[in-house]
Structure 1
Amino acid sequence: MRLTVASGVAAFAAAFLLYPLFQGGSWFWTSLGAVLAVMAAGLLSSRLSLPAWAAPLVALLAVWVYLTAAFASAKAWAWVVPTRGSVVELGRLLGVGWTDIQRFAAPVPETEGITLLTAGGVALIAIAVDLLAARLRRAALAGLPLLALATVPATILPDPISWPAFILAALGFIGLLIADGRERVGHWGRAVLVRRTTRATSSRSDARTSADTSGLRLSGKRIGFAAIALAVLVPALLPAMEPVSFFTFGVGGSGSGRGNSISIPNPIAGLKGQLELPERRVVLTYANDDDKPRYLRIYALDTFDGQQFGMTQPNGAVQNRTDNGPLPPPPGLGPQPKVKTVT
């Protein structure tokens, strides 16, 4: 049962990585309820000693009942028992949620459909983690579905992952590994004492039915915390370019405050969401001193791969560094044109 609880905690801790995708927090509480439903189903399966293949089915049934009560209670029997009408309503909300995801750019508004999709997705991750860790006893492999939650904001948002959310998710996974280690070591048998002191001590030791795992647990925590600290601190000491930086800080990152970051967001990825915003929104303002309209260009999509346009990757050279002196003249510029230097 300890692994079932640890699996649910790890899944919900990883779900914190999704918060930049939403404008509000209702998805948080709805997803928490879905994870609790999976945990309750897992505890029931452990209590009844159900086979490994049956536990996910019980969890799916529990999630179905929970989502029915949360989103289609008006058409369910006694507000919780699924009926044909509640199934149709959940299907309609899923379709609406999928359409909303295609229309809105992150952070998205929390419509019922989007919240239903999020809670259902987090529940599926929790079921997969419980199956791998608590049923199949492959806690390390349970990190793969948890990693799937981390890849969602990493692939959708141009901003790096929030390091506090990463630490929280990593702590959940470390807790799952520690719980799995305690389960394995605790089944080894009686503890073996190297030195006996008194007959009373020896009799008490013989009464033990499981090994003492406190020392191993402490070592596991130290290793886990050290790994998390290195995973967070090492990127902060390395040069970072924002399109590929992992956290919101680092040498050259947006959080360093040094003004030497390089940010080239993908224009195609954000164009569709910006064009289909449901309300008017100011995205750019500028002013000039000659009252003449200027053609404003942000991107030059100069490549085409047969399916979509893109930008040529920038190639920097040592001689183009501004700390080595003025920039070299552009290729083809002769002495005839009048050049004005602007700082």
Structure 2
Amino acid sequence: MSGRGRLALCAFAATLLAAGSMLPLVDPAAWIVQAAFLLAIQSGVGALARRVPFPRLLIVTVQFLVTLVMLTVVFARGQALVGFLPGPEAVQRLADLLTAGADDVGRYAIPAPATDGIRLMLVGGVLLIGLAVDTLAVTFRSAAPAGLPLLALYSVAAGLSGGAGRLWFLLAACGYLILLLAEGRDRISQWGRVFGGTGRSPNGLAAGLEMSGGRPLAPVRTGRRIGALALGMALVVPTSALNGGWLAGSGSGSGKGGGGGTISAVNPLVSLQNDLNQPENRQVMSYRTNSGSPQDFY
């Protein structure tokens, strides 16, 4: 596989792993399969377009148009021209679904039902993030800035769910590290042979190469170790620092309490919103009055 093909595959994997953080938001989670299929088509179109010496902006434009056609076929086929072209009615249908999806997000508590509007927001968001990651990491050969759209995708999920779990953070971070390692491997392969030492082979020639099938292994192994160490520290250090670790209180106050308790507070507005955003109506109170016009009450 070529260097750009490997980068495209890693960009696809990184986007899909980051999208996994949104799985707890909607039930059922079958939308992720649909998003993965459409994302694979989007990445494949980009890989084919890069084989032809097209300008970079033209490659991105082709991918965007293909993404728009795919969303039209999936969510607005009945209003599309010839069954797949996004005409005015199809665009209006997509806009109406986005509006309905925004209303559903405010109406339902997590996990929300997978309505058409919510599915369009999820699948369309993953495709847009995937297009941004593929453009930065593969088309423009700059994988480091591609972490920003991945972070945005994870942050949205963490903000809506009140904090994504460690598993989703681990998956998203691993996807980004895989993308960085693939780009670094591609850059190193363009330098030529990599010499890793000054030893000599029995025939007297320099034996500093560490190769496997003509590919340098030492820098890749070093990058993997550094990435694993950084990821482990990102998971362990905050827990150790906050839960009885470096930032734990020393109990130097003058009160009579022994300390060591846990204080938890819930924003009453957030609690009230979760209570009101129920999927079905149910009676929570009843009252009686002798007024002749109870409809005028607040």
Per the normalisation by structure 1, the TM-score is: 0.67
**Offset at residue 118 of structure 1 (A):** 0.9
Alignment gaps of 5+ in structure 2 = 249-259, 285-298
**Offset at residue 186 of structure 1 (A):** 0.5
RMSD: 2.9
Whether the 8 Å CA contact 1:77–1:83 is kept in 2: the answer is: yes
Whether the 8 Å CA contact 2:106–2:277 is kept in 1: the answer is: no
Larger helix percent: 2
Q: For each residue in 1:266-302, what CA deviation from the matched residue of structure 2 results, as whole angstroms up to 9, or x when unmatched?
A: 222343343242314699xxxxxxxxxxxxxxxxxxx
**Offset at residue 39 of structure 1 (A):** 0.8
AA paired with 1:176? Answer: L
Runs of 4+ off more than 4 Å: 191-199
**Offset at residue 191 of structure 1 (A):** 4.4
**Offset at residue 211 of structure 1 (A):** 6.8
- 1:274 paired residue number: 275
Instruction: Please tell me whether residue 40 in structure 1 is matched to residue 39 in structure 2.
Output: no
Whether the 8 Å CA contact 1:73–1:86 is kept in 2: the answer is: yes
**Larger deviation: 270-279 or 116-125?**
270-279
AA paired with 2:100? Answer: V
- 1:96 paired residue number: 100
- 2:16 paired residue number: 12
**Shift in alpha-carbon separation, 1:262–1:153, aligned structure 2, 3 A:** farther
**Offset at residue 142 of structure 1 (A):** 0.9
- 1:183 paired residue number: 186
- Counterparts of 1:1-343 in structure 2 under 5 Å? 1-77=5-81, 79-158=83-162, 160-191=163-194, 197=201, 212-240=215-243, 260-280=261-281
Task: Say which structure, 1 or 2, has more relative contact order (CA 8 Å, 6+ apart).
Answer: 2
Whether the 8 Å CA contact 1:11–1:129 is kept in 2: the answer is: yes
AA paired with 2:269? Answer: I
Distance of 1:51 and 1:196 partners within structure 2: 47
**Shift in alpha-carbon separation, 1:29–1:281, aligned structure 2, 3 A:** farther
**Offset at residue 12 of structure 1 (A):** 0.9
AA paired with 1:279? Answer: E
**Offset at residue 32 of structure 1 (A):** 1.3
Distance of 1:126 and 1:282 partners within structure 2: 44
Secondary structure of 2:170 counterpart: helix
Report how many aligned residue pairs link the two structures. Answer: 260
**Shift in alpha-carbon separation, 1:23–1:265, aligned structure 2, 3 A:** farther
Distance of 1:232 and 1:119 partners within structure 2: 29
- 2:289 paired residue number: none
**Shift in alpha-carbon separation, 1:265–1:85, aligned structure 2, 3 A:** same
Q: For each residue in 1:70-89, what CA deviation from the matched residue of structure 2 results, as whole angstroms up to 9, or x when unmatched?
A: 11223335543334433332
Whether the 8 Å CA contact 2:109–2:279 is kept in 1: the answer is: no
Q: For each residue in 1:17-68, what CA deviation from the matched residue of structure 2 results, as whole angstroms up to 9, or x when unmatched?
A: 1122112112212221332132122212221232222222122112112112
**Shift in alpha-carbon separation, 1:8–1:282, aligned structure 2, 3 A:** farther
Distance of 1:278 and 1:269 partners within structure 2: 17
**Shift in alpha-carbon separation, 1:89–1:220, aligned structure 2, 3 A:** same
AA paired with 1:269? Answer: V
AA paired with 2:276? Answer: L
- 1:301 paired residue number: none
Alignment gaps of 5+ in structure 1 = 242-250, 252-258, 284-343
Identity across matched positions, percent: 35
**Shift in alpha-carbon separation, 1:42–1:266, aligned structure 2, 3 A:** farther
**Offset at residue 229 of structure 1 (A):** 1.5
Distance of 2:202 and 2:282 partners within structure 1: 80
AA paired with 2:167? Answer: P
**Shift in alpha-carbon separation, 1:31–1:240, aligned structure 2, 3 A:** farther
Q: For each residue in 1:247-275, what CA deviation from the matched residue of structure 2 results, as whole angstroms up to 9, or x when unmatched?
A: xxxx9xxxxxxx95432222223433432
**Offset at residue 240 of structure 1 (A):** 4.6
Whether the 8 Å CA contact 2:194–2:216 is kept in 1: the answer is: no
Whether the 8 Å CA contact 1:23–1:110 is kept in 2: the answer is: yes
